Structure 1
Amino acid sequence: MEKFEKVKQLVADIETDAGKFYNSNNGAAGTRVRKAMQDLKVLASEIRKEISEKKSAK
């Protein structure tokens, strides 16, 4: 559950940069959003792996 909380926090953290990119065409903010989205992808993959392991253990 700890990793899920990290996902929620990460999404909340990038909201400002996403707004800057989409509304103001700020390229640097877009780069930060892309990096955060990659981090989010890695975290989601880890969560999927944990869930699969936990289901298999039953």
Structure 2
Amino acid sequence: MEKFGKVKELVTAVEADAVKFYENGNAAAGTRLRKGMQDLKNLAQEIRAEVTEKKNTK
């Protein structure tokens, strides 16, 4: 559950950069957004692996 909380925090953290990029066309914010989304992808993959492992051990 701890990693799921981190996902929520990460989404909140990149939200400002998403607004800056999509609404204002700020290219640097787009770069930060891409990095944040990559981190989110990696974290989601870790959660998927944990869920699969826990499901298969029951």
Normalising by structure 2, report the TM-score. Answer: 0.99
Q: CA RMSD in A?
A: 0.3
Letter in 1 for 2:51: I
How far 1:13 moved relative to its partner?
0.5
Give the Cα–Cα distance (whole angstroms) in 2 for the partners of residues 41 and 16 of structure 1. 18
**Between Structure 1 and Structure 2, how many residues are aligned?**
58
Structure 1: gaps (5+ residues): none
Identity of aligned residues (%): 66
Within 1, Cα distance between the matches of 2:15 and 2:39? Answer: 14
* 1:12 maps to amino acid: T
Structure 2 unaligned regions, length at least 5: none
After the TM superposition, list the runs of 4 or more consecutive aligned residues in structure 1 that deviate by more than 4 angstroms: none
TM-score by length of 1: 0.99
1:35 aligns with 2:41: no
Q: Measure the CA separation in 2 of the matches of 1:23 and 1:48.
A: 32
Q: Which amino acid aligns with 2:47?
A: I
